[in-house]
Amino acid sequence: MVNQTYYVCPNSLAVPWIESPFFEKLLASASLNLEEKELVQFFAENGYVTINPEIPLEVIDMVVADLKDKYTSSTPLYYPPG
């Protein structure tokens, strides 16, 4: 008899496990915390998740200031209608 672990092991199928017919069982047996399981469930249902990488504003300001003069162009990136 073949050892069928496809319903508990995401690597047993040749499809992403969120597309597996065994997704609910795979999610239930996954070693994820509740927040991670909720994110995976949301992704499976909606096709995306939004995360907050919690990058401090000081770091963002520093990167923007550092790149400000490196990416300039005389060609407008937006052409208004008309």
pLDDT, tens digit, for every residue of 12-69?
Answer: 667 787 888 888 988 998 899 999 999 999 999 999 999 999 999 999 999 988 888 7
Distance of alpha carbon 70 from alpha carbon 55, whole angstroms: 22
Give residue 41's pLDDT. Answer: 95
Single-letter amino acid code for the residue at 25: K
3-state secondary structure 54-71: CCCHHHHHHHHHHHCCCC
The predicted model scores a pTM of: 0.57
* 76 compared with 21, residue with greater pLDDT: 21
- Tokens (6 digits) for 2: 């073949």
The domains of the chain are located at 10-67
Give residue 74's pLDDT. Answer: 65
- φ, ψ of residue 45 in degrees (nearest 5): -80, -35
Put residue 66 in one of left, alpha, beta given phi > 0 → left and psi -120 to 50 → alpha.
Answer: alpha
Q: Residues 69-82: what's their mean pLDDT?
A: 67
